[in-house]
Amino acid sequence: MKIMNDSFLKTLRLEKTPYTPVWIMRQAGRYLPEYQQTRKNAGSFMDLCRNKNFATEVTLQPLDRYPLLDASILFSDILTIPDAMGLGLNFIHGEGPIFDKPLQNEQAVQALDIPSMDKLSYVFDAVKSIKNALNGRVPLIGFSGSPWTLATYMVEGQGGSDFLKIKKMAYERQDLIHHILKINAESVTQYLTEQIKSGVDAVMIFDSWGGALSHHEYSELSLNYMKVILDNLDILGYEHIPKIIFTKGGGQWIDQQIIARPDAIGLDWQTSLKKAREITNDKIALQGNMDPAILLGSDKKIEEEVKKVLDDYGRGEGHIFNLGHGITQFTDPDKVDLMLQTIREYSQQYH
């Protein structure tokens, strides 16, 4: 099916567009009253993800509200794979995801295996349903967590800030961590392959916790395994599907990231797009990078910051506007309108 608004895909191919395309991480989410309503109807967060009708409904909500969005993203969670591995995913209110059976000893690690993709069929069904509902309006982005990021949850049992359990494993028993990461990389490859077969137009790997590693360890424990996935997808015949990697807190390692040859690198607000562009040398697109907290500010501040981000990237193709992390639930939906209008108007001079 031909995609009507293809500015996002064109930018990923570094082709000319009349303005800077934009989408928003977690654009379908709690800041939207219509999402809150669907969520209430669905039950739990995972109930929402597992029902293709609800997942389709919420994926399309931001597009209906904001005609200036240039891409949609599958509504799902990054932890579907470890859930399908049998680790028992739960969302505790106010505490985020928790696994009932984290990998806490060698036996559990050795018993780990690639999950059957049948267990994830609800995701692929959702992709098909969303693609159908989109009817070519904008591209659909598929996604997965990175092998390292999945491993942090699988070993820690939950999100965190110090990651002492998984780091202890990594620095004491290298063999165990690489066993997990290899299985995760193969699982993500199969998972993204099925998403592509079901219709997604681009894929993104969220490396939410790669930034917790040292510059010595990032390549070995996170980036290399993302590279395995990108390479495998190419070998499997999906070279034409654009691939985005995003290591939160990884803005110091762009020189390493370009080695994995993604089509785009996601950046958070700590990184200057101008400096990043000097490293990628216009060979790889950049996605980002306004601080989501700016949307809590005054209209004047939002306009100023949107312009700063666009000025920072400057003239030419290859920039996809986004926030540097998911939009916060405390955002006033009208502020998003202002952001989108400012991007559309101000960015045209640069194309």
* Interacting span for a second copy (CB under 8 A) from 10-18, 68-76, 176-184, 269-277: 269-277
Q: Compare residues 140 and 212 and give the one whose CB is closer to a second copy.
A: 212
Q: Compare residues 214 and 349 and give the one whose CB is closer to a second copy.
A: 214
CB atoms < 10 A from the CB of 316, how many?
12
For residue 282, give both structure tokens. 């216009």
The answer to whether 349 contacts a second copy (rule: CB under 8 A) is: no
Say if residues 327 and 336 touch (Cβ distance below 8 Å): yes
Catalytic (active site) residue 66: no
The answer to whether 211 contacts a second copy (rule: CB under 8 A) is: yes
For residue 316, give both structure tokens. 């030419």
Say if residues 336 and 297 touch (Cβ distance below 8 Å): no
Catalytic (active site) residue 171: no
State how far the Cα of 33 lies from the Cα of 29, in Å rounded to an integer: 9
The answer to whether 31 contacts a second copy (rule: CB under 8 A) is: no
For residue 347, give both structure tokens. 């960015």
* Interacting span for a second copy (CB under 8 A) from 105-113, 196-204, 219-227, 289-297: 289-297
- The one among 58, 170, 233, 260 contacting a second copy by CB under 8 A: 170
Contacts of 189-193 spanning 24+ positions with Cβ under 8 A: 189/228, 189/229, 189/232, 189/233, 189/236, 190/114, 190/117, 191/80, 191/81, 191/117, 191/120, 191/123, 191/144, 192/142, 192/144, 192/229, 192/233, 193/233, 193/236, 193/238
Selecting among 31, 35, 66, 153, the annotated active-site residue is 153
Shortest distance in whole angstroms from residue 250 CB to a second copy: 8
Only one residue has tokens 């949850």, namely: 153
Catalytic (active site) residue 6: no
Selecting among 19, 35, 39, 137, the annotated active-site residue is 39
- The one among 163, 191, 313, 321 contacting a second copy by CB under 8 A: 163
The answer to whether 249 contacts a second copy (rule: CB under 8 A) is: yes
Nearest Cα residue to 129 out of 45, 51, 225: 51
The answer to whether 296 contacts a second copy (rule: CB under 8 A) is: yes
- The one among 269, 321, 339, 340 contacting a second copy by CB under 8 A: 269
Instruction: Report the amino acid identity of residue 263.
Output: D
Catalytic (active site) residue 175: no
* Interacting span for a second copy (CB under 8 A) from 14-22, 101-109, 118-126, 157-165: 157-165
Size of the site for a second copy (CB under 8 A): 37
Catalytic (active site) residue 83: no
Q: What are phi and psi of 103, to 5 degrees?
A: -80, 95
The answer to whether 172 contacts a second copy (rule: CB under 8 A) is: yes
Q: How far is CA 38 from the centre of its chain?
A: 22
What residues make contact with a second copy under the rule CB under 8 A? Answer: 161-164, 167-168, 170-172, 211, 213-217, 249, 251-252, 269-272, 275, 290-291, 293-294, 296-298, 301, 305, 308, 312, 324, 328, 330
Active site residues: 26, 30, 39, 77, 153
